[in-house]
């Protein structure tokens, strides 16, 4: 950490985020990849709230991404697109908490004791995926991937996710657009640390993973994705009870 960042941290203007406490658990970031966040300024918040459209999921996702992109400080040589897409919401909520200076508390009904209870969204209560020792044997700490059945598994970056989204939007204007709804797109989990992919590369990967690949190999790929699927879920845990948060965070009024 350089002197400027150190002073900003001491003045509570920036905050370091431990990548091990992200949903990805830092497993897929290079060892020198460091994340700091800063407080969102009033322009960020006004733009977010003014453009928030609760019936437009695409717009909500875009606004969340912009908040993170605008208030992120990464190690030199890395950029927003290098983030794993699963970490975006977690970082967004960390920025909201840091900006507002207060925790994000969620209410839920505890069926065991029959009362309403509260839980904070933070790393203490986050329900992290426990990767057992057998799976960890396949982890390559230098490449920052899991190598299973000779396939290198990694979580997709936000850059790759954005490229795929742009590709599918582009295809909606074509006569055969409907066929793209049935294709298999989990090849994004086997692109190592790529943060960008061209339309031509996407077309090639669609061809390979949907038409050229042998059934035995496709079964391997799907099995690998299934093994790590819990890494891509958000939930909290309290007193041994898992609490789903999908409908409990009001993103529209999150800054209030």
pLDDT in tens, the chain (256 residues): 555 555 555 457 899 999 999 999 999 999 999 999 999 999 999 999 999 998 899 999 999 999 999 999 999 999 999 999 999 999 999 999 999 999 999 888 777 767 788 899 999 999 999 999 999 999 999 999 999 999 999 999 999 999 999 999 999 988 889 999 999 999 999 999 999 999 999 999 999 999 999 999 999 999 999 999 999 999 999 888 888 887 678 899 999 9
Do 156 and 220 reside in the same domain of the chain?
yes
Q: Is residue 66 part of a domain?
A: yes
Q: Is residue 243 part of a domain?
A: no
Element holding 10 (H helix, E strand): helix 3-10
Domain count, the chain: 2
Do 101 and 14 reside in the same domain of the chain?
yes
Residue 237: count of CB within 10 angstroms of its CB: 14
Do 123 and 153 reside in the same domain of the chain?
no
Distance in angstroms (rounded) separating the CA atoms of residues 210 and 183? 7
Q: Is residue 242 part of a domain?
A: no
Q: In this structure, are residues 157 and 78 in contact, taking their beta carbons and an 8 Å threshold?
A: no
Burial of 175 (0-12, 13-18, 19+ CB in 10 A): exposed
Do 153 and 171 reside in the same domain of the chain?
yes
Do 9 and 87 reside in the same domain of the chain?
yes
Do 101 and 164 reside in the same domain of the chain?
no
What are the CA-CA distances from residue 197 to residues 49, 156, 167 (Å)?
31, 11, 10
Do 21 and 123 reside in the same domain of the chain?
yes
Q: Is residue 57 part of a domain?
A: yes
Distance in angstroms (rounded) separating the CA atoms of residues 129 and 111? 24
Residues in the chain: 256
User: What pLDDT does residue 110 have?
Assistant: 74
User: What pLDDT does residue 131 have?
Assistant: 94
Residue 132 half-sphere exposure toward CB, CA atoms < 13 A: 2
Q: Is residue 146 part of a domain?
A: yes
Domain around 165: 133-231
Pairing relationship of beta strands 72-74 and 35-38 according to DSSP bridges: antiparallel
Q: Is residue 161 part of a domain?
A: yes
Do 150 and 97 reside in the same domain of the chain?
no
Do 182 and 201 reside in the same domain of the chain?
yes
Q: Is residue 68 part of a domain?
A: yes
> Cα-atom radius of gyration of the chain, to the nearest Å?
20
Q: Is residue 236 part of a domain?
A: no
Do 144 and 198 reside in the same domain of the chain?
yes
Do 62 and 139 reside in the same domain of the chain?
no
Do 156 and 89 reside in the same domain of the chain?
no
């Amino acid at each position: 950490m350089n002197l400027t960042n150190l002073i900003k941290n001491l003045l509570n203007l920036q905050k370091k985020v431990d990548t091990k406490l992200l949903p990805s658990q830092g497993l897929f970031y290079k060892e020198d990849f460091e994340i700091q966040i800063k407080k969102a300024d009033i322009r960020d918040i006004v733009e977010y709230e003014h453009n928030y459209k609760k019936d437009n999921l695409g717009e909500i996702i875009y606004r969340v991404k912009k908040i993170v992109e605008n208030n992120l400080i990464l190690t030199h040589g890395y950029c927003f697109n290098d983030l794993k897409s699963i970490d975006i919401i977690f970082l967004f909520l960390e920025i909201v908490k840091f900006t507002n200076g207060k925790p994000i508390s969620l209410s839920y009904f505890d069926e065991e004791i029959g009362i309403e209870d509260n839980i904070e969204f933070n790393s203490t209560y986050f329900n992290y995926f426990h990767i057992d020792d057998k799976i960890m044997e396949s982890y390559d700490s230098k490449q920052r991937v899991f190598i299973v059945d000779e396939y290198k598994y990694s979580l997709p970056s936000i850059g790759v996710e954005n490229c795929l989204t742009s590709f599918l939007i582009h295809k909606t204007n074509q006569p055969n657009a409907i066929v793209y709804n049935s294709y298999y797109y989990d090849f994004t989990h086997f692109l190592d640390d790529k943060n960008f992919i061209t339309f031509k590369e996407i077309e090639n990967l669609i061809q390979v993973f949907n038409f050229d690949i042998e059934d035995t190999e496709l079964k391997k790929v799907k099995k690998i994705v299934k093994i790590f699927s819990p890494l891509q879920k958000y939930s909290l845990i309290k007193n041994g009870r898992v609490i789903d948060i999908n409908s409990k965070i009001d993103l529209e009024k999150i800054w209030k």
